[in-house]
Amino acid sequence: MRELRPDDLPVKAILLLAMAKELTREQAAARQDKAVEFTERVRDDPERAAQIADMSVERYAEERGFKIVNPAARKRRKMLMPKSRAELIEENRALEDQLAAAEDRLAQIADLAEAEEEDEEEEA
């Protein structure tokens, strides 16, 4: 049996594998089981299949580059909680204050630069 190469896989499958970095513990365990079966049946390497089977799910995920996440936490991260009107108004005020402070500082710098130019012209 010939060895499988990356160009044997459809592009969609490659993209899905590349994008799947966060998995639940159950998803990682399912992938580990599939890897054991694939290694035994397709690659005909029972020793490597036994090594994969003996690994903990966490170790397998680490070796394959997956991050095991809590499914509830993953859903919370994806679903952003909208800010209330009061929070948005407060955030807007804070940003306006920061902008005013930055504009004041810029005006001070401009005044200093103008004063230096005047001093240089008087000396010349």
Give 99-123 pLDDT, tens digit per residue. 999 999 999 999 988 888 877 777 7
**pLDDT beyond 90 at 76:** no
- The more confident residue out of 101 and 22 is 101
Query: Residue 3 — pLDDT band, cuts 50, 70, 90?
Result: low
Taking 3-state DSSP, the helix, strand and coil percentages for the chain, each rounded to the nearest 5, stand at 75, 5, 20
Tell me, what amino acid is at 52? I
The residues that bridge with 67 in the sheet, in sequence order, are 22
CB hemisphere CA count around 48 (13 angstroms): 10
- pLDDT tens for each residue of 35-74: 999 999 999 999 999 999 999 998 988 888 888 887 665 5
Confidence band (pLDDT; 50, 70, 90) for 13?
low
DSSP annotation of 22 = E
Instruction: Say whether 67 sits in a helix, a strand or coil.
Output: strand
Mean pLDDT of 76-104: 85
CA distance 20 to 6: 17
